Amino acid sequence: MQVELIGLIVLIAGALTVHRGLGFGLAALSSFSLLGASAALILPALGGASIQPAHLLLAFLCAALALRPKTFGIAFSALHYPGPGFWFALFVVYGVVTAMFLPRIFAGSTVTYSLARGNDLHYILATPLKPTATNLTQAVYLLGDLVCFAAAFAYARLGRATALAKAIIATGVVCVGFAFLDLATYATGTQALMDVIRNANYRMLEDGEINGFKRIVGSFSEAGAYGYVALAFYGFSLMLWLEGDRSRFVGPLAVTLLATILLATSSTAYAATAVLSLGVLGYCVAAVVRRRAGPRHLLYILAFVVVVPVIVAGSTLLPEVRDTVSALVQETVVTKLESQSGVERMRWNERALTSFADTAGMGGGLGSIRTSSFIVALLSNVGIPGALLFLTFFVSLLRLAIATTKQADSDPIVIAALTACFAQITAASISAGSVDLGIGFCLMAGLATGTTQASSARQETALPFAPTWFGGPAQALRIPAGFVTRLPLAPAPLGGSRS
């Protein structure tokens, strides 16, 4: 096992997580989720597999929960029937089981495109179905997603949703910072400065250009990965702004994130942003119909149906702008499927669906088959049973969103977090290569679910508790009456107060 420099930083953050608890750990986890091109650990025994910082930190988050039994109990309650966590847990467990058995049961029965490692690089190779190291790594990632969901649920359930939302907003600011740093180092020829966070053995596409536009990759390995993560922060900050968040940062942050997404020139990000924009428009129109719309809802509708079309129409009067935009759209949208990348990705999906049929609808096992669509990945890796479990989880989140929009006094954090989740599912359905939706998705889903349960309790009482196992002054916490008593928790990640 090879420990990288950034791995040492994660180990220090992990030790602080165990000491300080859930609040610090979730804030650190949110930040480390941006390091998509980083390796904290490299495992030569698994073909040079990279362990990303966020996934390494999850081990310490588990330890922090284990040292606080009552907090662990609340996290475990996230998996109770019939909530979203129950169906997500079933999906994760089933996925891990398929990773263990299906590649052996159906070994050699079909040819798959799968991830191979060698000479510190990753390759996509067509090989007969067989057990690989990717089965193990994807199973670990999926278990880590479940831990992240439960931890975020527990923290939100205990009335700390606002603190976690602030940590997510802060992470969005850092995401923008990495985007500008990417542009600056590219313009000045100093990209080597970012090698410290681009040390994973992935294929790095940080030098890409389309029609003179530098493709923003930020702290990730390629533009599509940046767009996927930035889209979640954009949806989260946009919905908070629409719902009247008093912070001065969420509005400008949403606009800046949207600009970086457009500059990333990712076809997937463009399509997902269009779907998200239409969804938010529908939400604002529904708010008008229900007579609960505020000035910001009306401003968004005005911008969408008047301002944007006027800008587009006006740009056509400037030949240079028109030609540049036209060429950009032509290459990233119109002819994308005809490009080498588009043809290759369609070949992956075609082969994956063939493998789905060859395994009688059971799939080849989690991590066995590389695709270019989350939906195809579900069917080809975990089969019909796994796809149905995830669909049930998705429907439960959708019902949560619908119920939240009908409440006059609902917490805006819920709809903001769910908007981020749906934005990422949309993007993943277009071009994701695996079943794992990532730490950010699970953090948002757990936040939304926990906040909903916390908000549903009408009666609250103030209870004293010790903030950590290591002592400290007792503080007061507002939680539902009769829920739990004398609960040891961690300090909040922001603001300095303990919870």
Instruction: In whole angstroms, give the CA distance from residue 161 to residue 38.
Output: 28
Give the pLDDT confidence score for residue 322 in this predicted structure.
61
Three-state secondary structure call for residue 477:
strand
pTM, two decimal places: 0.85
Q: Is the Cα dihedral 259, 264, 266, 269 positive or negative?
A: negative
Taking only the tens place, the pLDDT of each residue in 328-350 is 666 666 566 666 677 788 888 89
Taking only the tens place, the pLDDT of each residue in 240-256 is 999 887 777 899 999 99
Instruction: In whole angstroms, give the CA distance from residue 93 to residue 144.
Output: 12
309 domain residue, yes or no: no
Instruction: In whole angstroms, give the CA distance from residue 55 to residue 18.
Output: 15
β-strand partners of 49: 43
Structure confidence at residue 433 as a pLDDT band (50, 70, 90): confident
Q: Is the Cα dihedral 235, 260, 57, 22 positive or negative?
A: negative
Determine how many CB atoms are found less than 10 A away from the CB of residue 471: 7
β-strand partners of 465: 475
% pLDDT > 90, the chain: 51
* DSSP symbols for 32-65: HTT-TT--SEEEGGGTSEEEPHHHHHHHHHHHHH
β-strand partners of 491: 498
Whether the Cβ atoms of residue 379 and residue 353 lie closer than 8 Å to each other? yes
Give the pLDDT confidence score for residue 396 in this predicted structure.
94
The pair of structure tokens assigned to 246 is 């008093």
377 domain residue, yes or no: yes
**Mean pLDDT score of the chain, rounded to an integer?**
83
* Residue ranges in 115-222 assigned as alpha helix (H): 133-155, 161-188
Range of lowest pLDDT (29-33, 209-213, 250-254): 209-213
Residue 465 pLDDT greater than 50, yes or no: no
Instruction: In whole angstroms, give the CA distance from residue 64 to residue 29.
Output: 13
Q: How large is the average pLDDT for residues 355-382?
A: 93
Residue 383 pLDDT greater than 90, yes or no: yes
307 domain residue, yes or no: no
178 domain residue, yes or no: yes
Three-state secondary structure call for residue 123:
strand
Residue 488 pLDDT greater than 70, yes or no: no
Q: Which residue has the higher pLDDT, 172 or 203?
A: 172
Instruction: In whole angstroms, give the CA distance from residue 145 to residue 81.
Output: 18
The number of helix segments (H) and strand segments (E) in the chain equals: 18, 9
Kindly state the helix (H) or strand (E) to which residue 458 belongs, with its residue range: none
Nearest to 197 by CA among 63, 54, 339: 54
Distances (CA, A) of 406 to 284, 287, 401, 403, 415: 13, 10, 9, 5, 11
Query: Using the 8-state DSSP alphabet, how is residue 127 labeled?
Result: E
7 domain residue, yes or no: no
Structure confidence at residue 293 as a pLDDT band (50, 70, 90): confident
Q: How large is the average pLDDT for residues 257-263?
A: 92
Residues contacting residue 457 through CB under 8 Å, at least 6 positions apart: 479, 480, 481, 483
Give the pLDDT confidence score for residue 116 in this predicted structure.
61
Q: For the chain, how many structural domains are there in total? A: 1
The pair of structure tokens assigned to 454 is 């916390």
Taking only the tens place, the pLDDT of each residue in 69-92 is 989 999 999 999 889 999 999 999
312 domain residue, yes or no: no
Q: How large is the average pLDDT for residues 111-119?
A: 68
User: Domain span at residue 379?
Assistant: 70-297+347-456
Give the pLDDT confidence score for residue 123 in this predicted structure.
58
Instruction: In whole angstroms, give the CA distance from residue 20 to residue 163.
Output: 15
Nearest to 105 by CA among 377, 383, 354, 324: 383
Residue 205 pLDDT greater than 60, yes or no: yes
Provide φ and ψ at 21, rounded to 5°.
105, -160
Instruction: In whole angstroms, give the CA distance from residue 231 to residue 338.
Output: 25
20 domain residue, yes or no: no
Residues contacting residue 489 through CB under 8 Å, at least 6 positions apart: 21, 22, 23, 68, 71, 158, 465, 467, 468, 477, 498, 499
Give the pLDDT confidence score for residue 315 in this predicted structure.
66
Give the pLDDT confidence score for residue 487 in this predicted structure.
38
379 domain residue, yes or no: yes
% pLDDT > 70, the chain: 82
Instruction: In whole angstroms, give the CA distance from residue 219 to residue 206.
Output: 9
Q: How large is the average pLDDT for residues 186-205?
A: 83
Q: Which residue has the higher pLDDT, 82 or 116?
A: 82
Taking only the tens place, the pLDDT of each residue in 89-114 is 999 999 999 999 999 999 988 988 77
Provide φ and ψ at 127, rounded to 5°.
-140, 160
Q: How large is the average pLDDT for residues 279-298?
A: 90
Instruction: In whole angstroms, give the CA distance from residue 158 to residue 478.
Output: 8
